[in-house]
Amino acid sequence: MPMFQPSRKDGGVLGLDGGGDGRILDVESAVKDGVLGGGAVAVYGGGGGGGEKLDLKKMIDELNLCEVPSVFICPISLEPMQDPVTLCTGQTYERSNILKWFSMGHYTCPTTMQELWDDTVTPNTTLHHLTYTWFSQKYVQMKKRSEDAEGRASELLANLKRVKGQARIRTLEELQRVVANHSTARKTVADEGGVALVSSLLGPFTSYAVGSEVVAILVNLSLTSEAKMSLMQPAKVSSVVDVLNEGSIETKINCVRLIEMLMEEKDFRRELVSSHSLLVALMRLVRNKRHPNGHLPGLTLLKSISTLKEVRSLIVSIGAIPQLLELIPVLNPECVELALFILDVLSSVPQGQQALKDCSDTIPTMVKLLMRITECCTDYALSILCSVCNLSPQECSLRAVDVGLAAKLLLVIQSGCSPALKQRAAELLKLCSLNYSDTIFISKCKLTRTIQ
């Protein structure tokens, strides 16, 4: 291990107080005391020195740290150096990077721009040792924290079996934090029957405080088929829906994710989502204008649910259609596409078709969306318009043309959209034109184009 004996003169170089007799300072302590920057690193013994038991590359990759001391960073790649070499100018680079620089025909030092008078590259052993030591200590620290997390998770699970009331809530809160921050803890929880234990807390008498933490924990874990099946008991799903209804936005989003996880299961029981309370609660999340971060998860789940035929008329019956239509103007494009998918799927059931026709916002909104966002959106919007116009051709196509449908359809036909889409647009255009004489219709097209 390299020893460093500071003389009084040099005491200030590393920021050490060189007072008194020379203190023996080794690399480990130098790194430990944070003299290199990057924060003080607590030493847990081991690491560094001669034997490279831990592979540097592996450590760098696993740690994936953002704040690495600048002296360890290669000026070319801005990555930590695993094999630092120094040029005659005194600048240090990653070997492979500087050799590549040379192979491209440059014989200058990239940072100083000086012409090199000597093309040898000298391995910077000192820097390598320091880099290795620093990363080793960080690595050991992380491993310790991980183990700590594993141990803590174990303790918390044991605790959970004993306590009730406020203590139970606090244990769950801490378990959620540990599980969210440490992947090793998640494995511990899964291995020690934690999933079943936590799931067992859901039931008809689960309070909101307990329920919200249980959901927050479960969404962080990967659930086995068995675990998901046991969660599909109606009483448990009911308590999740209750939490979805009453929860904060973050909690609501967790509930949505949990339900999605259950729906992925092959033997998923469809009656579970065929529930008024679930759908109303979900729509409440989707409609919440104060918290737009709930739109995407809510709509994604609603889309999954709408693919189940049995549930479609239920979705319509809770008034989802006018609510979605009202919401579309404030959604981001990704969410608009989801909303349109849902409306399109709902238009395939008679109640949905009727509700779309009855809602006065449908036609203007759909016409506006044609050729506005993505081809997918245009596709869905067109499909909805076709559905509504087919239900009551006279009335609807009149209204649609009045808000500029004809011109939009012409746009679709002239665009680079898929042939099938263009075909449908042409058919709808034909349907609309039946209401007018040729001249009037053409003027409707022209007029609306001018308006645009």
The residues of the shown chain that bind another protein, judged by CB under 8 A, are 165-166, 204-205, 207-209, 233-235, 238, 242, 246, 248, 275-277, 280, 284, 317-319
Closer of 75 and 319 to another protein (Cβ): 319
From first CA to last CA, the distance across the chain in angstroms is: 78
In the complex, minimum distance from the CB of residue 354 to another protein, in angstroms, rounded to a whole number: 16
Calpha distance 224→154 (Å, rounded): 19
Query: Are the CB atoms for 343 and 315 separated by under 8 Å?
Result: no
CB of 329 to another protein, least distance (A): 19
Taking the least distance from each CB to another protein, the nearer of 138 and 168 is 168
- Least CB distance to another protein at residue 232 (A): 12
Shortest distance, position 207 Cβ to another protein, whole Å: 5
CA 195 remoteness from chain centre: 23
**Based on CB atoms, which residue is closest to another protein, 73 or 169?**
169
- Report the residue number, 280 or 413, with the smaller CB distance to another protein: 280
We find the least distance from the C-beta atom of residue 305 to another protein, in angstroms, to be 16
Beta partners for residue 80, in sequence order: 73
Residues 334, 374: contact at Cβ < 8 Å?
Answer: no
Nearest residue (CB) to another protein, 103 versus 166: 166
Task: For tokens 């759908």, name the residue.
Answer: 279
Of 130 and 355, nearer to another protein (C-beta) is 355
Question: Least distance from C-beta 277 to another protein, angstroms?
Answer: 6
Q: Which is nearer to another protein, 277 or 414 (CB)?
A: 277
Tokens 């939490």 correspond to: 243
